[in-house]
Structure 1
Amino acid sequence: MTTRKPTMADVARHAGVSLKTVSRVVNQEPHVRASLQQRVHDSISALGFRRNEAAARLARGATMLTLGLVMENISNEFYARLAAAVEAAAAEHEALVVFGSYEERPDKERMLIESMHARGVDALIVVPSAADHSWLAEHGRPRTVFVDRVPRGLDRADVVMLDDEHGGRTATAHLLAHGHRRIALISDDDGLSSVHHRARGYRAALREAGAAADEALVVRGVFDPGRVSYEVGRLLDLPGPPTAFFATNNRAAIGVLQALRERPERPAYVGFDDFALAGLFSPGVTVVRYDIDRLARGAVELLLDPVREPRRITVPVELVARGSGELPPVV
């Protein structure tokens, strides 16, 4: 049985004020006494009321609420799944979503954000690049929530992120528990907060196990699976090669798989981000995964929440063992 969502009329009854007063407070209209505002906000919190932004716009004669989603590359499975999840979460609020990919180009990211703003997009969800985003604070813009990464240069921002450091620590500890000490790190741009925190978790797990990170086994700034494949081969050709790999995103995990297809070695490996075919390989790919619907829903709900104080929401992660992370070191 579905629980009925509280309405503004419910808030008015709970607060002992008129429906018009609740509407004025929710819509942040002026000339409402502070004491009445506080009563309404207290009732909103007590009842768990959330304004339907789309209905509010339609009541004012405006068009349907439109959300913009700006991300790195929709051809990547992570971003395709995120886009679908954001669209589903927005549909629950009768909102439309428009998409744009900046393809690892910060100049295109800025162009997309400014273009969406100019075309009347009501609010933005942005997976930020590693570039400085302080320019966003310099002029008015639609309300923005950042997903997966903390934007550089913005001290006050709404962010929905993964527990990346815990994920990096968990992946590395899993490999250590299966006897590995020479564990390579294959990572994206370390200027991205998600990548930086996953790498920090990797180093923390090694340090706690008394196996300090060997920087010769750390690869940074690789985006393409083909480049990852080359770097994996290079590391395996070292005089003291790694016996295991931690790949900090799904592209890196695919690059590891490509490299091992041509190699006689069978190192262990753990990826960050699940992907559709991870369970079909032999062995299956052990990954750190998370609920992408929860990530998307958190972003949409932050956008539509009338509370304006910046907040950060952390989505938990978990390790899924499928075989690749459980291979023992070959000495």
Structure 2
Amino acid sequence: MSRRRTTMADVARHAGVSLKTVSRVVNQEPHVRQDLVRRVQESITTLGFRRNEAASRLARGESVLTLGLVIENISNEFYSRLAKAVESAAAAHDALVMFGSYEERADREVMLIDTMYGRGVDAMVIVPTAGDHGWLGEYLASGLTAVYVDRVPEGLADVDAVLLDADSGGRIATEHLLAYGHRRIALISDSDPLSSVHARAEGHRTALRAAGVAVDPALCVTGVFEPWRVEHEVLRLLALPDPPTAFFATNNRAAMGLIQALRDHPGPRPAFVGFDDFEMAGAFTPGATVVRYDVGRLGSAAVELLLARMRDPARPRRRVTVPVELVVRGSGELPPPTRAMAV
């Protein structure tokens, strides 16, 4: 097992100084007391802290604002579109964007934020991982400005965030399937502790209860990320004695895994609704019915919140909610198969 990478926060605690002081020493900023510089350098040597050498080449007096973007996985269409939206919104303010993917690893999220902060990035748009984010408080207290997108970080009570109306999305997706006669509706989801995922699943459960349909735990699959795992779970559910007649997939990767599973499935074709639109959603037969939203609005709202916070650090925290809509393409409009009547 590899050793955890030493962060600037570790150096600050070892040297008994603030995180901002470590950042100033690492970036060779002027006007830092020599005794503090020595303490920080000694701690860097003792702990084996390695900074990115590019940090020393950053001009401290640059007028160009650099924003950080920390996301889950740039190969996911949602995140690539979000990155483009943030970059476009930042360019409108003559700002540059530095981004990195943590690929569903909490330790890499810490490394990315620490490295960006060490390179002088004082404002970041973050899509947080699951789990406690109390550790971020030290960075925020030392001058980091952050806005969170899609998810609310655990352990930070009062934050600026741009969120989807995820609960409504889960509800309208399930209501749509219920309207076509489905009562055995399976949920395919990734990590439920994520606030956005939990909200989508809760909207699904709310719609079922409102229709008088019991929530069946056997039809709720959570914690699956990769499409191939989704494919495996969908085929398992379809092999049940009383299989689901419809599915609600809570993100685009789940929808792709679902489509892969249904491609060669020999039985009656179940209906499904996905959450997140994707480029190929209309290329299948039938096309994928999805809950859609404006990714550009997510990115621009995040950048505007970030700049507003930088201009006025004392302003009240805000949460912006981006609405969602149902896009009908065929997959969600398939009725349940008729069952032969027992004689």
**TM-score by structure 1 length?**
0.81
* Aligned 8 A contact 1:150 1:193 in 2: yes
Of residues 284, 290, 293 in structure 1, which corresponds to 2:293?
290
Tell me the residue number matched to 2:107: 107
Q: State the SS of the aligned residue for 2:63.
A: coil
Q: Residues of 2 paired with 1:237 and 1:262: CA distance?
A: 14
Aligned AA (1:248): T
1:65 and 1:122 in contact (8 A); partners too: no
Contact preservation (8 Å) 1:117, 1:141: no
**Does the CA contact (< 8 Å) of 2:176 and 2:332 recur in 1?**
yes
Residue 42 of structure 1: aligned partner? none
Aligned to 1:279: 282
Equivalent residue in structure 2 for 1:261, among 263, 272, 286: 263
Range with bigger deviation, 130-139 or 175-184:
130-139
Aligned partners of 2:278 and 2:187: how far apart in 1?
Answer: 19
What amino acid does structure 2 have at the position aligned with 1:276?
A: E
Unaligned runs of 5+ in 2: 1-59, 339-343
Could you tell me which residue of structure 2 aligns to residue 319 of structure 1? Answer: 326
Match of 1:138? 138
Shift of 1:287: 0.2
1:129 and 1:151 in contact (8 A); partners too: yes
Q: CA deviation at 1:113?
A: 0.4
Q: Which residue of 1 aligns with 2:190?
A: 188
What SS does the aligned partner of 2:274 have?
strand
The residue type equivalent to 1:274 in the other structure is: D
User: What do residues 4-61 of structure 1 show as CA deviations (whole Å, max 9, x unaligned)?
Assistant: xxxxxxxxxxxxxxxxxxxxxxxxxxxxxxxxxxxxxxxxxxxxxxxxxxxxxxxx95
The alpha-carbon deviation at position 141 of structure 1 amounts to 4.1
Whole-Å separation in 2 of the counterparts to 1:73 and 1:118: 22
Provide Cα deviations, 1:203-245, integer angstroms capped at 9, x if missing partner.
0000000001111000000000000000000000001100000
The answer for the alignment partner of 2:37 in structure 1 is: none
Distance apart, 1:262 and its partner CA: 1.6
TM-score (structure 2 length as normaliser): 0.78
SS at match of 2:135: helix
1:141–1:227 CA distance, 2 compared to 1 (3 A)? farther
Partner amino acid for 1:132?
D
Q: Does 1:159 align with 2:165?
A: no
- Residue 138 of structure 1 and its aligned partner are, at CA, apart by 2.6
Partner AA of 2:326 in structure 1:
L
Q: Given that residues 122 and 143 in structure 2 are in contact (C-alpha distance below 8 angstroms), is that contact kept between their aligned partners in structure 1? A: no
2:17 paired residue number:
none
Deviations 1:269-293 (A, max 9, x none): 0000000000111000000000001
Instruction: Give the distance between the partners of 2:160 and 2:270, measured in 1 at CA.
Output: 40
Which sections of structure 1, spanning at least 5 residues, go unmatched? Answer: 1-59
Mapped pair 1:226 → 2:233: no
1:171 aligns with 2:173: yes
Which position in structure 2 is the counterpart of 1:299? 302
Q: Which runs of 4+ in 1 moved over 4 A?
A: none
How many residue pairs align between the two structures? 272
Q: What residue identity is the alignment partner of 1:309?
A: P
Which deviates more, 201-210 or 135-144?
135-144
Residue 310 of structure 1 and its aligned partner are, at CA, apart by 1.4
| Percent of aligned pairs with the same amino acid | 68
1:93 equivalent in structure 2? 93
Root mean square deviation, CA, Å: 1.1
Give, in whole Å, the separation in 2 of the partners of 1:151 and 1:142.
Answer: 15
Displacement of 1:122: 2.8
Aligned partner of 2:11 in structure 1 is none
Matched to 2:279, the amino acid is: A
Show the counterpart of 1:43: none
Amino acid at match of 2:333: E
| Counterpart AA for 2:248 | F
Amino acid at match of 2:218: A
Counterpart in the other structure of 1:240: 242
